[in-house]
Amino acid sequence: MNKVFPQGENDYAAAGPKAHPEGEAGCGPLCCSRRRACLSASLLFLLATLAALITLVTILGLPSRTPRAQACITLTNRTGFLCHDQRSCIPASGVCDGVRTCTHGEDEDESLCRDVPQSLPRFLVAHCGDPASWIYSDQKCDGTNNCGDCSDELSPVTVCPPCGPGWWHCPSTFFKYCDCIPRRLCRDHIHCSDWSEEYACPGP
């Protein structure tokens, strides 16, 4: 008994699977040539970009990885600058003084010292009564007239604790001191306008 195929199926059965046009199953010479040209162009573009980046880094240098400046407290209980070794704490006034105190010299780094005091971190700077004048923060309340008008030692610009153990409280007659004088100066000529260091100061 002969099998009857629906209309159209006889043709398919006889012809077999339909052949794919060239380019769907494979790539002709023209197609492959275009692909090679595209790959070559992409590679050249990547190489050119890499060369441009290398040139830029050579000219400008690598981005700085210098840690940010950090404050610390010195052994004398003053504001200090923490070196990058995270152990050494130098006085604030030791930054940008022309002497490399930190092991790697970061206390004299150009980024800190290029435009003092504007380039210094705020914790290193204290302002005097005269807005144009400034001192290092560890020079404030140290008993010495660093600002020249005693604004770094006296209110209202600065509020300092009472004279320390090695100091005598009195109105000083010396420009170098303000409201306290070292006790070693007691009973050694006149250093206070009230003469108290001559009859009341117990000395060192």
Instruction: Map 82-128 to HEC letters.
Output: ECCCCCCEEEHHHCCCCCCCCCCCHHHCHHHHCCCCCCCCHHHEEEC
Domain spans in the chain, listed from the N-terminal domain onward = 67-141
Cis peptide before 117 (omega within 30 of 0): yes
Nearest-CA neighbor of 126 among 160, 102, 100, 98? Answer: 160
Are 84 and 104 in contact by the 8 Å Cβ rule? The answer is yes
CA distance 154 to 163: 12
pLDDT band at 30 (very low <50, low <70, confident <90, very high): low
Tens-digit pLDDT profile for residues 81-108: 999 999 999 999 999 999 999 999 999 9
pLDDT (tens digit per residue) in 137-174: 999 999 999 999 999 999 888 899 999 889 999 999 88
